[in-house]
Structure 1
Amino acid sequence: MDEEKLEKVIIEGIRKAVSTVPPDVKSALKEALKREHDEVAKMQLEAMIENIRLAEEKKLPVCQDTGMLYFHVRLPRAADANRIRRAILGATIKATREVPLRPNAVDSITGENSGNNVGVNVPWIEVEPSDNDYVEITVFPKGGGADNASVLTFLPVGDGLNEVKSCVLKSVLMAGGGPCPPVVLGIGVGGGAYIAMMLAKMALMRPITERNSDSRVAQLENEILEEVNKTGIGPMGLGGRTTAIGVNIEV
């Protein structure tokens, strides 16, 4: 595939990523609506569900904050990584105009906005070698409200899974309505700072209907989801039973 065709494919991937919501998430929102008793919470969930419907119908972003773009690329060993990178950058610039995307690439030093979502380390491109004979590109936009609620914590050696649960609950309470709940919590455990944060991001790529293959971790996912929804933060931070619709942990 030549670079121009590759750009077009990536643009459509970006469009789909910002204008559609996975079936598991849509189902979870509808189930949450059935469980809610609070009228304000119901109103918020109904608005979200309708907003998703309209966004998918009109092929427009679900949220005005289309976030920072992350690309996870699984690349055959013989593939030209620089060519893929050029196509991703070109597609990002064009998608900013065509989809459209909100320009979110701001220089960390000068505060200047590039206007096209391309800047220093933006978009972020993670490359993983692959034995496949094709290139696999995952587009992962993450809005500022969610990203700004990210937390990295170092737990004392010997602390168990209960301390992980406690840390997550404190982080959720601190974030409050900032990340526009209900949220999906991606949690990475172990491996040092960089690895833990990447594990957390990778966890978000797993459907919320799938539990971790380790039964102990799967139990922790269920326990955290239950405890988070007892906080009463609720949809958009306005109170209710649904603060999170999923918890995915990678170790």
Structure 2
Amino acid sequence: MRIIKSHEITEKVKKICIEANINLGKDVVDAINRGLEKEESPLGKNILNVLLDNTKIAKEKNIPLCQDTGMAVFFVKLGQEVIVEGDTIEEAINQGVKQGYKEGYLRKSVVEPLSRINTKDNTPAIIHYEMVKGDQLIIEFAPKGFGSENMSKLKMLKPSDGVEGIKKFIIDTVSEAGPNPCPPIVVGVGIGGTVDKCAQISKKALFRDVGTYNNDDNIESLEKELLIQVNDLGIGPQGLGGNTTALAVHIETFPTHIAGLPVVVNINCHASRHKKAVI
């Protein structure tokens, strides 16, 4: 067995909360540059260059990429040989969020849903757990902005709707979102499971490095096909026209019931921020 002190978790979480909001990952920057090479609209090219300049300024001045520093979302893999000593994992992670958002001067955006009273420290975080073999604790973090989150949709398709129904729902969702999620976007898609599982895997899809593909060849082909169709919508960077509406379409699947075909589209803005810590 391996003992991990809860304060170690808190420290790691604090750091990745700050880093994710300031330093955009190489995977996203590379994807924007690929879009810039293919973009045909002069205005679209200009906007993509502005987005790239923004990432450089944020890094150089050590300030957030965007004023919306998101709701803290975590996917945690806990090795079965690990014992956490001190606070619980959940308490340690939330303490890290509190410290990170305070010390990083990040906007606290979390409110009670009905009263709209701010919790003042950006907690509680959304935390998904998975028990795995080994003696490591792997923490993945994404600050999820709500300009894009608000454009996400769930649909309970009929099994007879099949792949064509899935594609139509995804394209319609992106089309209706238009400029609202700050394109070029990353489209996370969950297919299968139950309502809650489908939403979870659609979010997990956004944690993949931008431009990577599903390990299943058929799903990979679908991701590539949908990316072309999304970009053919002509929404373009920041919704002002062009052929770079999305940087990637990421699909994750899970077995479902014979009577159902749940699909969730979870959209992320061009600042597809995510960081990982391993203890």
**Which of the five TM-score ranges fits, normalised by the shorter chain?**
over 0.9
TM-score, normalised to structure 1, is 0.93
Which one of the candidate residues 74, 80, 96 is aligned to 2:84? 80
Specify the alignment match of 1:46 in structure 2.
49
Aligned to 1:160: 162
The SS at the match of 2:157 is: coil
Aligned twin of 1:227: 229
Secondary structure at the counterpart of residue 158 of structure 1: helix
Q: Which amino acid aligns with 2:109?
A: N
Structure 1 residue 64 displacement after superposition: 0.9
Match of 1:129 in 2: 131
| Structure 1 Cα separation of the partners of residues 18 and 148 of structure 2 | 19
TM-score by length of 2: 0.84
Question: Where does residue 28 of structure 1 map in the other structure?
Answer: 31
Mapping for residues 1-251 of structure 1, pairs under 5 Å: 1-77=4-80, 78-80=82-84, 83-118=88-123, 122-251=124-253
Instruction: Report the AA paired with residue 79 of structure 1.
Output: I
Unmatched 5+ stretches in structure 1? none
Q: For the Cα contact (< 8 Å) 2:13–2:96, is it kept in 1? A: yes
Rounded to whole Å, the distance in 2 between the matches of 1:21 and 1:49 is 10
Q: Deviations over 1:75-118 (max 9, x none)?
A: 13343395221111111111121112211111012110111112
Letter of the 1:161 counterpart: V
Q: Once the two structures are superposed, what CA deviation does each residue of 1:8-45 show, in whole Å capped at 9, x if it has no partner?
A: 22111111221122222111111211222222211211
Give a deviation string over 1:100-142, Cα, whole Å, max 9, x none. Answer: 2211111012110111112xxx311111112121211111111
Please give the alpha-carbon distance, in whole angstroms, between the structure 1 residues aligned to 2:77 and 2:63: 27
d(CA) in 1 for partners of 2:242, 2:65: 22
For 2:190, give the aligned amino acid: G
Aligned residues: 248
Q: What is the percent sequence identity of the aligned residues?
A: 34
CA distance in 2, matches of 1:92, 1:211: 30
Encode CA deviations 1:130-186: one digit per residue, 9 max, x unaligned. 212121111111101111111101111222211111100100011111110001111
Deviates more, 1:12-21 or 1:219-228: 12-21
CA distance in 2, matches of 1:24, 1:9: 21
Higher relative contact order (CA 8 A, sep 6+): 2
CA RMSD for the aligned pairs?
Answer: 1.5
Contact preservation (8 Å) 2:184, 2:245: yes
Partner amino acid for 1:70?
V
Q: Contact conserved, 1:96 with 1:102, CA < 8 A, in 2?
A: yes
Unpaired segments ≥5 residues, structure 2 = 254-279
Aligned 8 A contact 2:223 2:249 in 1: yes
